[in-house]
Amino acid sequence: MKEKLAIGVIGCGYWGPNLIRNFLSLDGSTVKTVCDLSEQRLAHIKLLYPAVATTTDVGVIFRDPGIDAVAIATPVHSHFILAKSALTSGKHVFIEKPMASSVAQCEELNVLAAKKGLTLMVGHTFIYSAPVKKIKELLDSGEMGNIYYLSSQRLNLGLFQHDINVAWDLAAHDISIILHLFQSMPISVSCQGKAHITRGIEDVTVISMDFSSSEFAMVTSSWLDPHKVRKLVIVGSRKMIVYDDIEPIEKIKIYDKSVRVPEHYDLFGEFAYSYHYGDVLSPYFKMSEPVHNECLHFLDCIRNAFPCLSGGKEGLDVVRILEAATASLRSNSSKIMLHESTHSHVAGEDCAATDKNE
């Protein structure tokens, strides 16, 4: 295999430049061509990286035998057709989250990648972050005890999307983190939400997930909050974790707090909950850029035929939950059993059953 894998990047709007910068900085890759519909964005990339070719014709990347892999950072509705074309052209594929607009599309991409023997990876960026890696270590060690529930908040003012609601945009991050930490799929999903600004596109949602091992998770997402919030709380039977990504230094705090029920009692008067209060610890871990880590992982998976930490299966799992959340929104926030969810709930379709403007 070549010393440097040549990457073609499709999309250089909001997130694409981060991928371009990181693939160019790695010893094992270079960016050969960047494609975007905006000549202005391409001119900006050319100014930053004169050696990188630019084009508005995506076919240039697919037809180039010198390009080994394609990174896709475009609106969600275009993920499927672009990834399918890249795989058909024999290119390894990295797709930003969410993987595609429906479960059916994700399944087709997985089948095609397996048939072609190509690496298919999804940009679940936060599972490559140092704080999430540390939290995973803490959960795997058993230090937290039995996990009762997880609560995640991802809130800010904007950026409003026009083709997907806030769950598909923001909650996708939190769902990927939760699945990575729990290493299991929920058995049911329910979702509440409202569309205040753009008819049919919810700008605030709350997703609830029940897991078979009694764990429970809640994900709150909003484009309409006055504060930027990136917080994850995990409550265990022995200890509790608060991960605040906005904090500059002490991003993780471990609280030695718990509630204990007496094992034996004869009279009601003898029954009393015991509240344990211990120390608060902020563990040290070396920070690194998650995008850098995931780009490096993508290259390693290509070179060594490793299964990706956020491969096509993981991308499919996240979309399956988002699709179930959409089904719940359409059915008055009813609980959707995952095995009952269909493949008809596509991102970007009108899901305004709870639209206040109706």
pLDDT tens, 240-257? 999 999 999 999 999 999
Angle, CA of 238, 243 and 249, to the nearest 5°: 120
Tell me the CB-side half-sphere exposure of residue 153, using CA atoms within 13 A. Answer: 14
Tell me how far the alpha carbon of residue 95 is from its chain's centroid: 11
Amino acid identity, position 75:
P
- Position 277 scores a pLDDT of 85
Mean pLDDT of 166-180: 98
pLDDT at 353 over 60: no
Q: Which helix or strand (DSSP H or E) is residue 316 part of?
A: helix 312-330
Average pLDDT for the chain: 92
Backbone angles phi, psi at 184, to 5 degrees: -160, 160
162 within 8 A of 270, measured Cβ to Cβ? no
pLDDT tens, 37-75? 999 999 999 999 999 999 999 999 999 999 999 999 999
Omega before 98 within 30 of 0, i.e. cis: yes
Rounded-to-integer distance, Cα 340 and Cα 102, Å: 15
- Position 355 scores a pLDDT of 34
Rounded-to-integer distance, Cα 99 and Cα 303, Å: 22
Confidence of residue 324 (pLDDT cuts 50, 70, 90): very high
**Residue corresponding to tokens 């991050």:** 173
Tell me how far the alpha carbon of residue 13 is from its chain's centroid: 19
Mean pLDDT of 273-278: 80
Share of the chain above pLDDT 90, in %: 85
Amino acid identity, position 160:
F
Query: Does residue 337 or residue 342 have the better pLDDT?
Result: 337
> Which has the closest alpha carbon to 174: 260, 250, 98, 271?
98
Rounded-to-integer distance, Cα 280 and Cα 313, Å: 37
**DSSP states of 66-127 as a string?**
T--EEEE-S-GGGHHHHHHHHHHTT-EEEEESS--SSHHHHHHHHHHHHHHT--EEEE-GGG
pLDDT at 217 over 50: yes
Rounded-to-integer distance, Cα 127 and Cα 79, Å: 21
Token output for 212: 């078979």
pLDDT tens, 72-108? 999 999 999 999 999 999 999 999 999 999 999 999 9
3-class secondary structure, 47: helix
123 within 8 A of 95, measured Cβ to Cβ? yes
Give 3-state DSSP helix, strand, coil % of the chain, rounded to 5.
Answer: 35, 30, 35
Amino acid identity, position 126:
F
145 secondary structure, DSSP code: -
Rounded-to-integer distance, Cα 33 and Cα 36, Å: 10
Token output for 221: 């997402």
Mean pLDDT of 168-186: 97
pLDDT tens, 223-236? 999 999 999 999 99
Which domains occur in the chain, in start order?
5-125+290-310 (3.40.50.720), 127-289+318-354 (3.30.360.10)
Cα distances (Å, whole numbers) of residue 2 to 5, 11, 68, 107, 293: 6, 25, 9, 30, 21
Backbone angles phi, psi at 182, to 5 degrees: -85, -25
- Position 267 scores a pLDDT of 57
Rounded-to-integer distance, Cα 195 and Cα 220, Å: 14
- Position 269 scores a pLDDT of 54
Backbone angles phi, psi at 309, to 5 degrees: -60, -30
- Position 2 scores a pLDDT of 82
Q: Hey, which residues does 255 pair with through a beta bridge? A: 240, 280
Enumerate residues 6+ apart whose C-beta is below 8 A from 92. Answer: 68, 69, 70, 118, 119, 120, 298, 302
